[in-house]
Structure formats: structure tokens, C-alpha cells
Amino acid sequence: MKNSKADSKSNGHNQNSRRNFVKNTALFTGAAMVLPNLQINAMVNVFNDKKLKVAVIGCGGRGTGAVIQALKADENIELVAMADAFEDRLATSLINIKKEMGESKKVNVNPKNKFVGFDAAQKAMDLADVVIIATPPGFRPQHFEYAANNGKHVFMEKPLAVDVPGIRRVLAAAEKAKANKLNVVVGLQRHYQDSYLAAKEQLNQDKIGKIVSGQVYWNSGGVWVRERKPEQSELEYQMRNWYYFNWLCGDHILEQHIHNIDVANWFVGEYPISAQGMGGRQVRNGKDHGEIFDHHFVEYTYPSGAVIASQCRHQPDTMNKVSEFFQGTKGTVSTFGDNAILRGWEGNLIFEHRGKDDPNPYQVEHIKLFESIRKGGVISDAENGAKSTMSAIIGRMATYSGKVIKWEEAMQSELSLAPDNLNWDSPAPVQPNADGTYEIPTPGKTVVM
Ligand SMILES: NC(=O)c1ccc[n+]([C@@H]2O[C@H](COP(=O)([O-])OP(=O)(O)OC[C@H]3O[C@@H](n4cnc5c(N)ncnc54)[C@H](O)[C@@H]3O)[C@@H](O)[C@H]2O)c1
């Protein structure tokens, strides 16, 4: 995915060796919850010396990068199965993985273990101990549920759903995964990034007091468009050009801006109780742009009374900004790129982290995952991932409807966007108008729950 500079910088292939990362991250205290030593020793960990089999579900840009990062994170590991909706995507991914991994025996995908289509995911997961899930997020709840029900350790990308029924499903599967001592890492990589961890540590030490307000941003030029081809069915077209359809993507407030909303939740230490906002599409409004907005501005209110202003925009040649800024009773914290800066209200510097040589958080995610599996630990990122996804969903509900959306009410929603059990003969979940455009949400009219 061609994201803005800040996203594309580090989600690719890791250039550093595992040894360097282990060295660089020796003192790293991840967001991961690891069981205390006593419990670890008491557990029989069948994964200690085992060759870990990995399957990837969704072989696009991120799935490919995550496989390479997983293979570099552990010595005794192999990629055994791949699944994608489309054969060409899977083939390209395998070529790119082999290009990066050279002659490594870790890439060991028997041709019969390359699965294509809507039922490919389950077949690939059945062959693995650890699954990497990087499809468009509309499929995330059903894939994660299958992984949790079948005893798989998981790395899965954000967001974790596109609708509220999906969130409830992910929360239930997260409980099951935790109860079964499965490790689940979610690709909200700021939780594995030194600058954010350092800032959070300062906040824990009460350096800027209680956060009362903040501004979080994902303003960029936007992402790719995959144009319609004459031979494609409507369903295939939407699957290929998935970013622009809510049953697959959830709109860019979920798809990208979740990173910054998640930082707000993490730093404030709560999830929002309500959201209200406005948005629309002014620039990116062609037939190939499906049904999503190109800008959203949302005000989130938290139980403590903190109010966070969130803005995300996909419009070329406008101000680019991907960062977070929060105001506390004693000072401010600013996080951007690899940096974290805390200042007092007089402008005095309280703390500074400039992390241009920090380890790549996309790589650290996998090092932490495999270390935890080996040690018999349990990382449980899915609940926070689901709640941060839900925060973005109430933001979308607010901008689409123009109404105040309360978290508790929204959690009851039965409005499901992403169907289970699709096949290539299924009608596409949304249909174009006669002129080839799609229905665009209209504040004041659109029903969101
Ligand atoms: N953490 C990050 O910074 C970051 C960065 C980029 C992407 N991502 C996330 O990764 C996910 C994928 O993004 P991407 O950029 O790789 O997109 P992509 O289009 O390059 O890849 C998605 C792949 O999933 C496949 N797919 C679709 N439905 C499927 C199904 N039902 N079963 C199996 N395969 C299916 C597609 O054919 C495609 O090959 C998204 O959720 C995105 O938000 C996260």
C-alpha cells in the first residue's frame, strides 16, 4: 500500500539482522503482557524447540513484508502455506519473499499449500502454528475467530473489523485466545516503537500531569486506486480496489487514522465515550473512489473529560501531517516520526527522544511475538486493537450521520457491512448506481447503526 511517508518508511523489509535487533531491544519494555517467570517455568511450553510453521493470509504488500519480518525474527521457523483471494497476488508475494530471503530453507511452500479464493484462509491456517493475517480488514473477524478457535498464534494487521458485529466477534475471539494462552500481536506498531514507549513511560511518571486535550492527525495525499478492468465482475473489482468500499476497508479513518486514535487512547488511558464530527469528499470523488470520504474531523470525549480532536485527510497538495500532540495539566507531549518531546507549560524541555537509529517497530513486533511463543508467554493485543478500531468506527458513524455517537449505544449495533461465506458468484455487497458511482453517506440522512 502506498501510504504517506510516515507509514511507508518502515513497513517494508527489515534491513537489520536479528542479532542487532535483539541487542538494540534488550532493554525494550514492549506493550506486550508476558506472564511472570514463575508461571512460565510452571508451564509446559510445547513451542520451546519446535520448528514453527507459519502461514500467511492475504499476500499483498503488508502480508509479504510481515512474512519476511517473521522469518527474520526466529531461527527455527518456516513459511509453509500461503492464502490469497487471487492467484496473481500470491505468486508475486512468493517471488518477493524469495528475493528477500535468498536461498533460505525457511521458505518452504509446497505448491499444494498455495490456496486461492474465499476459503483459502482456513486451509492455510490448518497447516500452521502461527498465522499472519493481512487481508483487507472486512475479513479480519472471521479469520481471527478461526485462528483463535483452532489454537493458532497470530500476528494480524489493524484495523480488526469494519463494523460493530465484527468488533464483538473479535472481542470474543480475543478472550478465547487469551484463555488458551495464544499470543496475539496486532499491527498497531507504535506500541512496539521506542519513541512512543519512552513517551508513555514519562506519562506514567506523571511528567505532564493529567491529559485534558489533544490533537491527532493523519493528513496525507491518499493511497492507490486499482482501476476497473472490463473482464472483472463487480465483486472482483471491489475486492481489488478494496480501499474504497466500506465492507472491506471501513473508510480511511479506520484504515490509517486508527494508528493516531489508538495513541490517543493509550496515552489518555481510556477509550472514548462519545464522538461527534464532520466530513465529506471534495477531491477524491470519482467512480473509482467507491463510497468513502476524503476527510473526517472528529471530537472524541473520554470518561475523564479529556477531549481529543482527530483529523484525517486524503487530499493531494494539502498539508501533510501524521502525528499526535497532547496537553496535560503540567505540560505537553508531542510524538512524530521516531521522536517524542515533552515540555512544561513554560516551554521548558522535560524529555526528548530522537530515535532515528531506533529498531524498526514492524520488525520488533515479530521478535516479541516469537520470543513470547518460545518462552510460553502470552501477548494479548487483540482487545485493545478491537477497542481502538471501535473508536475509529464511532468516528466514522459520527461523520457519516452528523450525530453524536455514544460508545455504549453504538456497541449494540447490528448493522453488518462484511458478509461471511462469499463466493465468486455472490453479488457484491454494495452495488453501483446507473452512472457507475456509489451511494455516498449524507450527514443528517445516513443511518449508521
Ligand atoms: N501497520 C501498518 O502500518 C500497515 C501498513 C500497511 C498495511 N497495513 C494493513 O494490512 C492490511 C493489508 O494491506 P495491504 O497494504 O497489504 O493491502 P494489499 O491490497 O496489498 O493486500 C491485501 C491482500 O489480501 C488479499 N485478500 C483479500 N481478501 C482475501 C481473503 N478473503 N482471503 C485471503 N486473501 C485475501 C488481496 O487479494 C491482497 O493480495 C490492511 O488491513 C492494512 O491496514 C498495515
**DSSP assignment of 401-426, as one string?**
H-S-EEHHHHTT-----S-SS--TTS
Residue 304 Cα to ligand 1 midpoint, Å, equals 35
Nearest atom in ligand 1 to the alpha carbon of residue 189 is 1
C-alpha distances in Å from residue 237, one per residue of 63, 223, 251, 317, 428: 20, 17, 17, 28, 9
To test the ligand 1 pocket, which listed residue (94, 119, 157, 193) has its Cβ within 8 A of the most ligand atoms? 157
C-alpha distances in Å from residue 297, one per residue of 48, 55, 152, 215, 307: 47, 38, 38, 10, 13
Closest CA to 301 of 320, 282, 274, 330: 274
Residue 80 Cα to ligand 1 midpoint, Å, equals 19
Residue 302 Cα to ligand 1 midpoint, Å, equals 31
Specify the pairing of strand 339-344 against strand 295-301. Answer: unpaired
Residue whose C-alpha cell is 480488526: 160
C-alpha distances in Å from residue 225, one per residue of 1, 14, 26, 413, 427: 10, 26, 41, 31, 22
Find the residues whose C-beta lies inside 6 A of ligand 1: 1, 7, 11, 57-63, 83-86, 89, 118, 120-121, 134-137, 139, 157-158, 187, 189, 239, 255
The structure's pTM equals 0.91
State residue 47's pLDDT score: 81
Enter the C-alpha cell of residue 311: 483529523
For 337: left if phi > 0, alpha if psi spans -120 to 50, otherwise beta; the answer is left
Specify the pairing of strand 153-156 against strand 184-186. Answer: parallel
Q: Cα–Cα distance between 389 and 348 in angstroms, integer?
A: 35
* Mean per-residue pLDDT pooled into runs of 10, the chain (449 residues): 36 37 31 39 69 98 98 97 98 98 96 98 98 98 98 98 98 98 98 98 98 98 97 98 98 98 98 98 96 98 98 98 98 98 98 98 98 97 98 98 98 97 97 97 96
Closest CA to 240 of 439, 395, 84: 84
Residue 216's DSSP bridge partners are 310, 324
Residue ID of nearest Cα to ligand 1 atom 33: 84
Residue 403 Cα to ligand 1 midpoint, Å, equals 31
